[in-house]
Amino acid sequence: MDTLEEILELACWIAKSYFDRGMGSGTSGNMSFLHDGHVYITASGTCFGRLRPEDFSCVDLQGSLVSGKKPSKEWPLHLAVYQHDNTCGAVIHIHSTYSVLWSCLEHDNEDDCIPDYTPYLRMKLGSVSLVDYAAPGSPELMCAFRRKLDVSNGWLLRNHGLVAPGKTLMDAFTASEELEESCRIAWELRGQHCRKIR
């Protein structure tokens, strides 16, 4: 098992990778992971481009602050995933361009909203559902999100961004990368009559 210091170092690398590639700007996005029965989540107002280990808040599984700064306002979303799936060890939420673009469109099947143009999203994550829009961090968003927890393996928040879980932080990172790439491919091919693999 990785130490807390090792996971925090990886988290900072992931955040910087997103920021450097334009997948996280300003203070948008948040990530979390489980360690020793607690949730470590990026603090409110932190920037992925300058994230440091001390920029993580530690909360318990009921959301009470254990140590550190004020957590991201979207901590309830992360806790909902952990409470729903006891195999989940990390959650990443970013406002990457193509996931946001794809989440703004209307889709025939909102419970499985990304076309299977390649096999990799299914392999790395699974199905992805679209969550109805509500203001970020609001109780209304949490209600909409909870309704989709049983529906799919990952989520697009309408007009907002992606949510990717994983057994480890690296798994969640890999899933988020594949989700964003699948949204990019779908966006580039929209309106075209392309053969899907299923």
Tokens of 91: 């959650």
Residues 6 or more apart whose CB falls under 8 angstroms from that of 48 comprise 15, 16, 18, 19, 24, 29
120 is catalytic: yes
Options 110, 117, 120, 133, the catalytic residue: 120
Q: Which of these is catalytic: 74, 177, 178, 180?
A: 74
User: What distance in Å separates the CA atoms of residue 51 and residue 28, rounded to the nearest whole number?
Assistant: 12
Neighbours of 84 (CB within 10 A): 12
Cβ atoms 92, 164 nearer than 8 A:
yes
| Cβ within 8 Å of residue 119, ≥6 positions away | 197
Q: How far apart, in Å, are the Cα atoms of 133 and each of 25, 52, 148, 160, 193?
A: 21, 31, 12, 8, 29
Our answer to whether residue 74 is catalytic in this structure is yes
Query: Rounded to an integer, what distance in angstroms lies between the CA atom of residue 147 and that of residue 132?
Result: 10
Residues that are catalytic: 74, 120
